[in-house]
Amino acid sequence: MKVVLLAESFLPHMNGVTHSLLQVVRHLERRGHDALVVAPRSGPIDQTLYGAEPVLLPSVPLPSYPDVRVTLASTHRLATILRAHDADVVHLASPFVLGWRGVLAADAVGIPSVAVYQTDIPSYAERYGIPGAAPALTRHLGKLHRRADLTLAPSTSALERLESLGVDRLALWRRGVDTERFAPTRRSEQWRREVAPNGEIVVGYVGRLAPEKQVEDLRAIADLPGVRLVIVGDGPDRPALERLLPRAHFAGFLGGDDLARAMASFDVFVHPGESETFCQTIQEAMASGVPVVATGAGGPLDLVRSSRDGWLYRPGDLAELRSRVLDLTGDDAKRRAFSERAREAVAGRGWDRLGDELIEHYEAVAGLRRETRVERVGRVRRGRDAVSRPTTNERAPDVPTSAPIAAPRWRRYVAVGDSLTEGLCDTSRVPAGEYRGWADRLAMLLALTSPAAEQVGYANLAVRSRRVDDAVTVQVPRAVELGADLVTVLIGANDLVGRRDDPETLADRLDAAVRQLRATGCDVLLVTPFVPRRPATRLFAARFARFNTRLRVLAAETGSMLLDVGAMPELVAHDRWAEDRVHLNSAGHRGLAYAAARVLGVPDAQELGALERAVHSVEQVDDVTEDRAVGDLVWLRRHAAPWIVRRLQGRTAGDGRVAKRPELLPIAVAAPSPHPTPVGRARRLGPTRR
């Protein structure tokens, strides 16, 4: 694959954007892809670009921050570069000025674009004393990311920020960390003696010394007794900060092994910035085994687990910042415990894994563009109007995320979960009063793609309103009894919308059950739980993010497969939800089933998904069970009120219910139809209703 990477800033100026870009280029080289970097020219480059060819464009310095350069290259110039490189995809690194022209050039050439959101430029404008520019900058930011084929955001707060700007083609893509370079073994007593000759506790900050980082807030801890404040980095605010913090040690810019040694030699890492979309230095500190104190806003919310590996303090509350630092500097045992958990928290976040995820996103948008061109030709040939850009529904999850891993080999499939896996609100083509659901659809796909002489047995143990404890104590042991060779697990949403259980504790309970399954030789597909993206559900966003982070680590540690719904927001777009607003409709269940099939490597899952989607778009009248939106009053009467009554009575919708398919039953195979449907050979789970 040929990738063109457009960066607003680049070497020799090192910052978070440059660091991430270098890691991407290195990974592309490892995987045998061809990269070209287009960036402003700002000085000589004296380090490797890992085989990438650079195209450095004339630029001018930003008046208030000369290390940042702005290039005014035309769209025509960039389009010429894209054509010359024969690019398959354009990567827009923290796009704004060059990125805007880049996305226009990509559209002009017909090349898909992936925008990586890393910098909250409107917030930066406010920090630089030009708040009047923030509204215009915000509008530009939203326009740019809506124009891109896909935007990758590094944190849940960044996703919410972009959603508020009307950006709908979003995926979560976090940053990797070099756990070999940043490690506790890099700790240097010699370095500590140089910066803290009297044996003080070392509290350190790493980052740019610029207004958006709010380094001046560190004055709240500069005079703590027995503490040495160390500031690593450079920038336009350094002279003023040296005057403000005369007792601090300013180490200047450090990179590579020097930075890793300094980071590991801290006792506590502190970061006061409130405009971080991710905050890579927090992750590097944690990899170094250093507990973190950071502001409770933006990216740090996803990284720091308060009272476990660090502390989050209320934005702007410098008294709380001081008390949180005192808590760690004054308690050696707590600091050691937090240190161990910090290192554990970054397990599975290596750049190789994140790099492979990025390549999958590239392949997805490239496949989507190819698919869209075919669809356009088909529409024209049928005499229909072509569209200039597919709708959100057309861009849905039925795009390739990776090459199939292998032909399915499973003969005993068991689904574990709650109402989503039971199939609530998916009444498409089943008798009245019954539900189908994504797991039923996945079982059908496994049967359809298995050799004709072999049958697939399928059991669905899910029951509405069930929680993690039921999955662990009832459903998983039953799956083991049934001799399952494939188990899907989607559970946790009912726990996470409450406040009784800690998300990490819930994930730990599930951990033991998954290991029990894996010990039998069973394959496991974990699905991250989710809720509709509405203002009310933001109350639970952080809890879901923490649980799903642990789920990703669990998948990596146990060799389980993972369907990360958080990284595919199109699966749970607004048009995928049923009338009750808490369950998927038939389209949502279809999308989830085909996404799971792709993770499992089901042959032709992409094509089958596209075909079924096309049939359903034409045969809307046949899908009489598809949900329609209802008004708030109707929703309150039909759905909210019964739920409130059950809660007041201490009941759940699942009380007294048993699994709809508690035994492994074969999926019946019908004779091939002379008029094939989207599922070809009709191996039905139940009668078809037309």
688 pLDDT above the threshold of 90? no
Residue 375: the pLDDT is 41
Q: Report if residue 393 sits inside a domain.
A: no
Mean per-residue pLDDT for 356-376?
70
38 has a pLDDT exceeding 80: yes
For residues 58 and 127, membership in a common domain is answered with yes
Q: Which of 578, 274, 300, 640 is nearest to 420 (CA)?
A: 578
User: Percentage of the chain surpassing pLDDT 70?
Assistant: 80
Residue 177 lies in a domain: no
Q: Between 650 and 280, whose confidence is greater? A: 280
pLDDT in tens, 399-442: 333 333 344 579 999 999 999 999 998 887 778 778 899 999 99
Burial grade of 481 (CB within 10 A; 0-12, 13-18, 19 or more): exposed
CB 162 within 8 A of CB 154: no
- pTM comes to 0.52
Per-residue pLDDT at 117: 92
**Which domain range does residue 332 map to?**
184-345
Mean pLDDT (whole number) for 248-256: 94
The phi and psi torsions of 601 (rounded to 5 degrees) equal 80, 30
Q: Mean pLDDT, to the nearest integer, of 568-576?
A: 79
Looking at the domain assignment, is residue 158 inside a domain?
yes
> Do both 147 and 208 map to the same domain?
no
**Are both 150 and 206 inside the same structural domain?**
no
92 & 194 share domain: no
Q: Are 439 and 423 in contact (CB under 8 A)?
A: yes
Cis preceding-peptide flag for 12 (omega within 30 of 0): yes
Is residue 29 in some structural domain? yes
pLDDT (tens digit per residue) in 521-561: 999 999 999 988 777 677 777 788 888 888 888 888 888 99
The span from the CA of 399 to the CA of 392, in Å, is: 12
Q: Are residues 335 and 441 in the same domain?
A: no
Q: Is residue 636 part of a domain?
A: yes
How far apart, in whole angstroms, are the C-alpha atoms of residue 245 and residue 70? 32
Question: How many structural domains comprise the chain?
Answer: 3
CATH code for position 82: 3.40.50.2000
CA–CA gap between residue 87 and residue 55 (Å, rounded): 14
Tell me which residue has tokens 């990596």.
556
The predicted pLDDT at position 578 comes to 84
Identify the band that residue 116 occupies on the pLDDT scale cut at 50, 70 and 90: very high
Nearest to 106 by CA among 98, 249, 176, 347: 98
Q: Are residues 82 and 104 in the same domain?
A: yes
Structure tokens at 432: 């009245």
3-state helix, strand, coil in the chain (%, to 5): 45, 15, 40
Residue-wise pLDDT tens digits, 57-103: 988 876 655 666 778 788 889 999 999 999 999 999 989 889 999 99
Return the C-alpha torsion angle 540, 543, 545, 547, nearest 10: -140
Residues 192, 139 share a domain = no
- Residue whose C-alpha is closest to residue 643's, from 632, 658, 654, 628: 654
Position 551 in a domain: yes
Separation between Cα atoms, residue 519 and residue 521, nearest integer Å = 5
On the question of pLDDT at 231 being above 70, the answer is yes
Tell me, yes or no, whether 135 and 221 share the same domain: no
Helix (H) or strand (E) holding 125: helix 121-127
Q: Taking the mean position of all CA atoms in its chain, how far away is CA 146?
A: 18
Task: Indicate the average pLDDT of the chain.
Answer: 82
Residue 109 belongs to a domain: yes
CA torsion through residues 630, 634, 639, 640, sign: positive
Distance, CA of 590 to CA of 608 (rounded, Å):
11
Domain-ending residue, one of 126, 151, 172:
172
| Per-residue model confidence (pLDDT) at position 131 | 58
At 76 the three-state DSSP class reads: helix
- Residue 74 in any domain: the answer is yes
**pLDDT-based confidence at residue 680 (cuts at 50, 70, 90):** very low
Residue 599 sits at φ, ψ, to 5 deg, of -60, -40
Residues 192 and 139 in one domain: no
291 and 166, same domain (yes or no): no
631 in the same domain as 578: yes
Report d(CA 596, CA 489) in Å as an integer. 11
Does one domain contain both 256 and 339?
yes
The C-alpha atoms of residue 679 and residue 683 are separated, in whole angstroms, by 8
**CATH number assigned to the domain comprising residue 616:** 3.40.50.1110
Q: Which candidate, 587, 536, 532, places its Cα nearest to that of 565?
A: 532
- Which are the contacts of 574, defined by CB distance < 8 A and separation ≥ 6? 532, 533
Q: What is the pLDDT of residue 67?
A: 63
User: Residue 225 carries which DSSP code?
Assistant: T
Q: How far is CA 361 from CA 37, 115, 116, 163, 576, in A?
A: 18, 11, 11, 19, 21
